[in-house]
Amino acid sequence: MNRINFSATVLFILFFILQAYAQIYVSPTGDDNNPGTIEQPLKSITAAVSSAQAGDTVFVRGGVYSLTTTISISKSGSEGNRYYLLSYQDERPVLDFSSMLVGSSNRGIRLSGSYWYIKGIDIKGAGDNGMNMSGSNNIIEFCSFYENRDTGLQIGGGASNNQIINCDSYFNADPDHNDADGFAPKLDVGTNNYFYGCRAWQNSDDGWDGYLRGADDVSTILDNCWIFNNGYLKNGTDSDGNGNGFKMGGSDDKMLMHNVTLRNCLAFDNRERGFDQNNNRGSMTLYNCTAYRNGSNYYVSLAGNKAATIVNCIALGYQGPLGTFVIQQTNSWQSPFTVANDDFISIDTSGVRDPRKTDGSLPDINFLHLASGSDLINAGTDVGLPFNGIAPDLGAFELGETVPVELVAFSASVTGKDIILNWATASELNNYGFEVQKKFDGSDFITIGFVPGSGTTTETNQYQFIHKNSEQGINIYRLKQIDFSGTFSFSDEVQINFNAPDEFILFQNYPNPFNPGTAITFSLAEKAPVSLQIYNLVGELIVSLITNELKEPGTYSINFNASGLSSGTYIYVLKQGENILSKKMILLK
């Protein structure tokens, strides 16, 4: 890595960015009279949040923070300028509220602000919810909520468009042992909240609870979540709560609608129901879910105002009561299937509570994965989820490894009336080729072309596809890589705004924060040499993505892979002649 000689303009831009976006440090050994630097950190998150401005990052050092009062976060950022509350590098901070008194207002974190990104923090022992969220457009990632005296993470107060990613919630129990859930977007919750890769176990009430009181006709999506052993206390005895896995809704008057979609979700060993309608009147869509050894695996018996759909799902054991109104297709309890233990590699739950991977993703397990030779493989209905082989498998886990083609770059650019897609592979094994797929204006993906692959090779290969006369507006592309056996996988998507640009623009990278890949998009109004470079915060050049390359007018999207870099803040700088633009991006691993 070389230190470069910056022009005065570049130096000014970097200085402005570093002044505009602060990094504030908190440590159990800090002092709130300190300036909040890494050498002299603050002691409390409250003090750090108080001094933070939109765009700032609060880094929380590892260790135990013994707390007795709620951390209230009411500031709001914006779509392009979030607040960040992050664990520092690989350290794990624990916010321990065990000494807090039990009480309905004694939450660990009360998040009423919007546009926050919170990652890598454990919250335990709060007198009520571990976290109570009423703000919107927040991201909560790789956090744990445990041993709180009510629900681990509760979302309400109209909170909408929040993402809960790779979080755990367990051993939460209220004093009466009947009301603490793992995750609960409930009561007066808003719409379009999303859960991915979450686990909830041994909570005194339900693992996931969508009961409504005050809200109606709201929607929530869950992907790849595991909910198990709920309705039990930490010591393994029965609680007095409901003990369901996924409670999809319900209300006091039995009339409110929570529209819930569950995809690739797993419910097992819950004391009562695995997937429970309760009295929800909203739509319930279950794709590729698996239930095992719950009191009742699936329970959808009350006709609602909207459709109930169950497709490609597995019940090992009796499926449970399903009304005649439920739309069912290719489920394990339907003809011609039969299900037995030997359809699975293992029915041993070992590993389901194991630590997550370093990126926060779920641990690898064999539990309830289909065994080779099962008639549940390639037997499902295509519902739009990725799959290997000629058809989707049944259940939460698709058999087969990722197609062994290493895609290292995928970008889109505009020249005249054409969109040019470029991609590269570092190695290929049995690669038949790439279908180029596109969607536009909310439509489904369609195949618009095919580019042959290079079979098996360890050499780098470059590919290009030109999409002529594309529609004006947002065009989204992906690659469907296919091997000679018919197995396939999809690339990440690349998005391009196909409008004739009339100015020099550098857009915020997406996603941001990211790990490890992100797309940097820019627009050029005139033909000129362009450079795009990445720097760290001490002014060292990390990589030149484009170096003085002559570009036609148009919009370009360049993928940046930071798999070899450490977590932190980086600056990307775009230069066209004397014009220079720059933005900050955050790599979180």
Q: Which secondary-structure segment (H or E) carries 221?
A: strand 218-223
pLDDT tens column, 236-277: 999 999 999 999 999 999 999 999 999 999 999 999 999 999
Which of 497, 528, 545 is the C-terminal boundary of a domain?
497
Average pLDDT over residues 110-117: 97
DSSP three-state, residue 4: coil
Average pLDDT over residues 519-544: 88
* Tally of CA atoms within 13 A in the half-sphere of 493 that contains its CB: 13
Residue 128 has pLDDT above 90, yes or no: yes
Distances (CA, A) of 139 to 57, 489, 589: 14, 27, 15
Residue 102 has pLDDT above 80, yes or no: yes
For residues 492 and 508, state if they share a domain. Answer: no
Percent of the residues in the chain that have a pLDDT greater than 90, as a whole number: 65
Q: Which residue has the higher pLDDT, 73 or 17?
A: 73
**Pairing assessment for the beta strands 418-440 and 461-467 based on DSSP bridges:** antiparallel
For residues 474 and 517, state if they share a domain. Answer: no
Is residue 159 one of the residues assigned to a domain? no
Q: Distance between alpha carbon 234 and the CA centroid of its chain, in Å?
A: 28
pLDDT of residue 588: 80
Average pLDDT over residues 424-431: 80
Residue 205 has pLDDT above 70, yes or no: yes
Phi, psi of 20 (to 5 degrees): -75, -35
Average pLDDT over residues 406-428: 81
For residues 388 and 451, state if they share a domain. Answer: no
For residues 207 and 315, state if they share a domain. Answer: yes
Residue 20 has pLDDT above 60, yes or no: no
pLDDT of residue 219: 98
Residue 485 has pLDDT above 70, yes or no: no
For residues 118 and 265, state if they share a domain. Answer: no
Output the domain CATH number for residue 583.
2.60.40.1930
> Omega before 336 cis (within 30°)?
yes
pLDDT of residue 416: 65
For residues 220 and 77, state if they share a domain. Answer: no
For residues 119 and 26, state if they share a domain. Answer: yes
Which of 375, 400, 425 is the C-terminal boundary of a domain?
400
Residue 368 has pLDDT above 90, yes or no: yes
Residue 448 has pLDDT above 70, yes or no: yes
**540 token code pair:** 């060292």
Is residue 16 one of the residues assigned to a domain? no
* Tally of CA atoms within 13 A in the half-sphere of 159 that contains its CB: 31
Output the domain CATH number for residue 425.
2.60.40.10
Q: 574, 562, 585, 557: which is closest to 423 by C-alpha?
A: 557
CA 134, 259, 215, 212 dihedral sign is negative
Is residue 165 one of the residues assigned to a domain? no
Banded pLDDT at 325 (limits 50, 70, 90): very high
Is residue 166 one of the residues assigned to a domain? no
For residues 437 and 547, state if they share a domain. Answer: no
Average pLDDT, the chain: 90
Q: How far apart are CA 461 and CA 465, in angstroms?
A: 14
pLDDT tens column, 132-160: 999 999 999 999 999 999 999 999 999 99
Banded pLDDT at 536 (limits 50, 70, 90): confident
Residue 207 has pLDDT above 70, yes or no: yes
pLDDT of residue 208: 98
Average pLDDT over residues 116-122: 96
Banded pLDDT at 312 (limits 50, 70, 90): very high
Q: Where does 244-312 show beta strands of DSSP type E?
A: 246-247, 258-263, 266-268, 273-276, 284-287, 290-292, 296-299, 308-311
pLDDT of residue 6: 44
Is residue 44 one of the residues assigned to a domain? yes
Least confident range from 165-174, 396-405, 521-530: namely 396-405
Least confident range from 244-253, 377-386, 512-521: namely 512-521
Percent of the residues in the chain that have a pLDDT greater than 70, as a whole number: 93
Banded pLDDT at 533 (limits 50, 70, 90): very high
Instruction: Please give the residue range of the domain that contains residue 508.
Output: 502-587
Residue 297 has pLDDT above 50, yes or no: yes
Is residue 162 one of the residues assigned to a domain? no
Banded pLDDT at 450 (limits 50, 70, 90): confident
For residues 377 and 526, state if they share a domain. Answer: no
Q: 555, 569, 474, 551: which is closest to 507 by C-alpha?
A: 555
For residues 478 and 548, state if they share a domain. Answer: no
527 is catalytic: no
Average pLDDT over residues 429-445: 82
Q: Assess contact for 123 and 149: CB atoms under 8 A.
A: no
Residue 17 has pLDDT above 70, yes or no: no
Q: Which residue has the higher pLDDT, 554 or 128?
A: 128
Least confident range from 127-131, 295-299, 302-306, 338-342: namely 302-306
Q: Give the total number of structural domains in the chain.
A: 4
Q: How far apart are CA 290 and CA 331, in angstroms?
A: 10
Which of 400, 417, 441 is the C-terminal boundary of a domain?
400
Is residue 158 one of the residues assigned to a domain? no
> Omega before 28 cis (within 30°)?
no
For residues 428 and 545, state if they share a domain. Answer: no
Helices (H), 338-489: none
Burial of 350 (0-12, 13-18, 19+ CB in 10 A): exposed
Q: Which residue has the higher pLDDT, 293 or 452?
A: 293
Banded pLDDT at 577 (limits 50, 70, 90): confident
Is residue 126 one of the residues assigned to a domain? yes
* Tally of CA atoms within 13 A in the half-sphere of 431 that contains its CB: 29
**411 token code pair:** 């970008």
pLDDT of residue 371: 94
**178 token code pair:** 């009947």
Phi, psi of 462 (to 5 degrees): -105, 140
Residue 58 has pLDDT above 90, yes or no: yes
Give the other-Cβ count within 10 Å of 335's Cβ.
5
Residue 24 has pLDDT above 90, yes or no: yes
**3 token code pair:** 């230190």
Q: Assess contact for 241 and 178: CB atoms under 8 A.
A: yes
Banded pLDDT at 386 (limits 50, 70, 90): confident
Output the domain CATH number for residue 94.
2.160.20.10
pLDDT of residue 404: 61
Least confident range from 62-66, 259-263, 434-438: namely 434-438
For residues 184 and 133, state if they share a domain. Answer: no
Instruction: Calculate the dihedral angle through the C-alpha atoms of 92, 70, 247, 329, rounding to the nearest 10 degrees.
Output: -50
Catalytic residue among 247, 480, 583, 584: 247
Phi-psi label, residue 584: left if phi above 0, alpha if psi -120 to 50, beta otherwise? beta
Query: Which residues partner with 260 through β-bridges?
Result: 220, 284
Residue 4 has pLDDT above 50, yes or no: no
The distance in angstroms from the start CA to the end CA of the chain is 21
